[in-house]
Amino acid sequence: MINKNSITFFVCLLFTATLQAQNIGDIFKSMPAELLPGISEGNKTMLLVDTAETSVPYMFGEIRKVEHGSDYIKVQTSARGNTQLKLLPVSQDSVIVCVIKTVCGGVGGDVCDSDISFYSNKWEKLDSNAFLYGVSAETFFDSSQKESENYKYALSLPDISPISAEFNKDNSDLLLIFNYKKHLSANQIAGITPFLKSDSITLRWKDSSFR
């Protein structure tokens, strides 16, 4: 006959195993090749040896791990590109994976634009709008002024949309940065500035979405 203590121990053991199976190292190693092309499982394992910066050669040159936390990893995939993985809790014992792929261009490579996507811990693609809705240049504008013609003109300027995203390895905050200054004229910048709330916004993970 199984006593209550044995059942409790088994449940705790199963819960612990579930959490351990969702650590960032396992998720990173199982990342599909199309999301991180050219990197072998062996190279991924080498990058995970410790939490310090680590570099390994691969088919496109070199990949460098620049940050590594308990639920976060960031790798530099090229001189102008990087990939971030972050585990985000959706229940007490379940997580999803947020992937941010950032490419920087322009003179000096300092105009950065990020693509943000979400996956289950089995790498099934999820609807991004369920977790992060409607991020665009207008996210940074003061909507109380949206009836102004100048507001509409500012939003209509070409190439004002590069937005980069960065996680903090110590929490689940998501920093969004509006990279409009590097490729606009001084007159265009002057036209945009009065309508901006800020050129950066921090979103916090709450109740299974960013707010």
Contact 66, 76 (CB under 8 A): yes
CA distance 120 to 72: 15
- Report the C-alpha gap between 67 and 75 in whole angstroms: 7
pTM of the model: 0.85
Query: What's the mean per-residue pLDDT of the chain?
Result: 86
Neighbours of 120 (CB within 10 A): 13
Of residues 127, 107, 117, the one with CA closest to residue 83: 117
Could you tell me how many residues make up the chain? 211
Q: How far apart are CA 101 and CA 84, in angstroms?
A: 7
- DSSP secondary-structure letter at 137? G
pLDDT tens string 130-177: 999 989 999 999 999 999 989 998 988 867 789 999 998 889 999 999
**What is the mean pLDDT, run by run of 10 residues, along the chain of 211 residues?**
40 37 88 91 88 82 92 94 97 94 83 96 97 94 93 84 92 95 88 94 96 94
Residue 148 belongs to what domain range?
Answer: 4-210
Distance between CA atoms of 38 and 71, rounded to whole angstroms?
Answer: 23
Q: How many domains in the chain?
A: 1
